[in-house]
Structure 1
Amino acid sequence: MISDRQNIKNIRAASRLMVRELGFMNQNLAATDYPPSAVHSLLEVEAQGSVTAAQLVQILGLEKSSVSRMLAKLVEAGELEENTSADDARTKLLSLTGKGKETVQNINAYADQRVAAALDKLDLFTQCTVSQGLSSYSRALRACRENTEEKLQSSFKIVTGYHAGMIGRITEMHGSYYAREHNFGHFFEAKVAAGLANFSARLDKPCNQIWLAMVNDRIVGSVAIDGEDLGNNEAHLRWFILDDGCRGSGLGRKLIEEAMRFCDERSFSSVQLWTFNKLTAARRLYESFGFELSKEWEGDQWGSTITEQQFTRQNAV
């Protein structure tokens, strides 16, 4: 998994590159004669229809004096006009003039072309990832500036049952993560695929269920409850995995919540899961739902010798 420090370095490097490639280092922006702050002001006025200088100060995050000087220049250039608000004679509203609308139209055409050209070099999934990631990151930056404590949530959904491509995608997430982090090989990946294939054929049984976390219709997480392979009315929690970019997002907890709710509703006597001793973050999550370490031994069921663990959650129902 990429460390927090590496994430920071990667995002900073990408931000510097974007600033350069989008032209923010230049004296003017988007094929205009205006600096970035003026271009942004024109775009925000267009988006709002009309706006006060004070509102632009808040939107742009600039000093009041800087915004006032910049707006005065745009009014003088004939891009903006200032009118008295119909609701409050003390309030002055800024709106685009005819010239301003033409300028914004040219800015949008130029920017759309730049973005479209860049996206054309990416596959469709990466395009969606970039769109969602940039939107989330920009909102997070604004929340930091505004000192908002609320944690921003990603737009994801959790679905149940078989979905086309599910076996391959869950196997891929397991294979990639465990090969990179724990040197598991083809034996482990093949075992995951075979187990999922067998389980998928049994999803019509009411004691079996799988939950898939989806972002932009792509599976980014999973967990399953197998209610028949252990017998004795015991449930088996299986195939809990998250895509690399979703770890630490709280999505894993939501998946486990759904699985535990299902187990409680089905009144299983207990829930069992098998893992190994190096997955400390997962262990803390399991323990927060009432799982306790019930057995520990040296084993090789995943293709290499490790300290395997069994955790048990007794059903209170």
Structure 2
Amino acid sequence: MDEMTVNPIREASRRLVRELGFMKPTLAGTDMPPSSVHTLVEIGRRGILTASELCEVLGLEKSSVSRLVQKLVRAGELVEGASAHDGRAKPLCLTPKGRETLARIDAFASAQVRAALQCLPPHSHATVHQGMGAYADALAASRTKTPVLANPAPKIMPGYQPGIIGRVVEMHAHYYANISGFGAFFESKVASGMAEFAGRLDHRVNQIWAATDGGGHVVGSIAIDGEDLGDNSAHLRWFIVGDGQRGSGVGRALLRQALSFCDACGFAKTRLWTFKGLDAARKLYEANGFILENEQTGQQWGTEVTEQTFVRDYQAG
């Protein structure tokens, strides 16, 4: 791996350490060092931890954890219990004072995260979450010499899925507001169009597909409307892939399903409307048999753009 990849990540890591306050002797608005703050947080999340379990969670040596625990016990933040199965293992849990301290830590940290996220567009929040989580998992895997478990590939589900209308509208609104400045007119047009289309999903020439992640959340969509254009033409609509999934192959999988449906239904042509500048999408369309049919300036989405129409002829299986 070259330094052009490594160095920016190192720089971002150093900035995170500084911005989160780890260069200071105390952390999270307390008078405690970072190791003590993390000890209270992890025990609070799990309810009970032994010293050996705490060593593993914090990545610290046994002697360091022992000194850390005793200091917190003397301060009244932790209490040591007795294990019914192993006299050497002393379960650690928070005292009432420790729970109060943890509440202050949580309030400080949550406010810190919220303040940072307010400086970012809402559609990027999931990307921050996914990226930081993946990097933390990779660092832990490197330290413990264990493989990182890959997230399961999104599933492509045909038909209506609960929440799909709102989620698809949301993805469109955030993405196109960011790249093109589309606003309320565009969002309301997507919402009204999807609401009308949903009432026709039981017709055999109409279909929608959702890409869902491991948690069942919609991360992509595509639809074929076989009725609104007439002339034995299919209309490809609402094709979008959410943040964190672009470039993963989800878009190709969705488009493949939709075009297979078009050919199975025997549509002579499949058309889609987009606008100039979406180069990655255009490349994907052209790789799947679409050609540019028309290009003109228009405002059908509420903002003046160079509108484009792409068309694909029927392809026998």
Asked if these proteins are the same fold (TM beyond 0.5), I'd say: yes
Alignment of 1:1-317 (within 5 A): 15=16, 18-20=19-21, 24-30=22-28, 32-75=30-73, 77=75, 79-81=78-80, 83-84=82-83, 86=85, 88=86, 92-96=89-93, 100-114=94-108, 136-147=130-141, 148-152=147-151, 160=160, 172=173, 175-176=176-177, 179=180, 193=189, 197=193, 200=196, 203-204=199-200, 205-211=203-209, 221-231=220-230, 233-242=232-241, 247-248=246-247, 252-253=251-252, 255-256=254-255, 259=258, 263=262, 267-269=265-267, 272-274=270-272, 279-282=278-281, 285=284, 291-293=288-290, 295-296=291-292, 299-300=295-296, 309-312=310-313, 314=315, 316=317
Q: Percent of aligned positions with the same letter in both sequences?
A: 30
Letter in 1 for 2:100: N
More off after superposition, 7-16 vs 250-259:
7-16
- Indicate if the aligned counterparts of 1:167 and 1:193 stay in contact, CA closer than 8 A: no
Q: CA deviation at 1:146?
A: 3.1
Q: Distance in 1 between matches of 2:42 and 2:167?
A: 43
Structure-2 change in CA distance of 1:130 and 1:208 (3 Å): closer
* 3-state SS, counterpart of residue 93 of structure 1: coil
Q: Distance in 1 between matches of 2:220 and 2:103?
A: 38
Structure-2 change in CA distance of 1:286 and 1:57 (3 Å): farther
Match of 2:301 in 1: none
Q: CA deviation at 1:300?
A: 2.3
Residues 234-284 of structure 1: CA distance to partner in whole angstroms, max 9, x if unpaired?
4332232345565346553564466457557x6345662446886453356
Q: CA deviation at 1:174?
A: 6.9
Structure-2 change in CA distance of 1:116 and 1:32 (3 Å): closer
Residues 28-62 of structure 1: CA distance to partner in whole angstroms, max 9, x if unpaired?
33555431112211332333343333322221233
Q: Distance in 2 between matches of 1:52 and 1:212?
A: 44
- Indicate if the aligned counterparts of 1:136 and 1:152 stay in contact, CA closer than 8 A: no
Structure-2 change in CA distance of 1:18 and 1:315 (3 Å): farther
Q: Distance in 2 between matches of 1:173 and 1:48?
A: 36
- Indicate if the aligned counterparts of 2:292 and 2:309 stay in contact, CA closer than 8 A: yes
Q: Distance in 1 between matches of 2:295 and 2:43?
A: 65
Q: Distance in 1 between matches of 2:126 and 2:194?
A: 34
Q: CA deviation at 1:227?
A: 0.9
- Indicate if the aligned counterparts of 1:213 and 1:220 stay in contact, CA closer than 8 A: yes
Unaligned stretches of 5+ in structure 2?
142-146, 299-303
Structure-2 change in CA distance of 1:106 and 1:195 (3 Å): closer
Letter in 1 for 2:20: V
TM-score normalized with structure 1 length: 0.61
Structure-2 change in CA distance of 1:12 and 1:284 (3 Å): farther
Unaligned stretches of 5+ in structure 1?
none
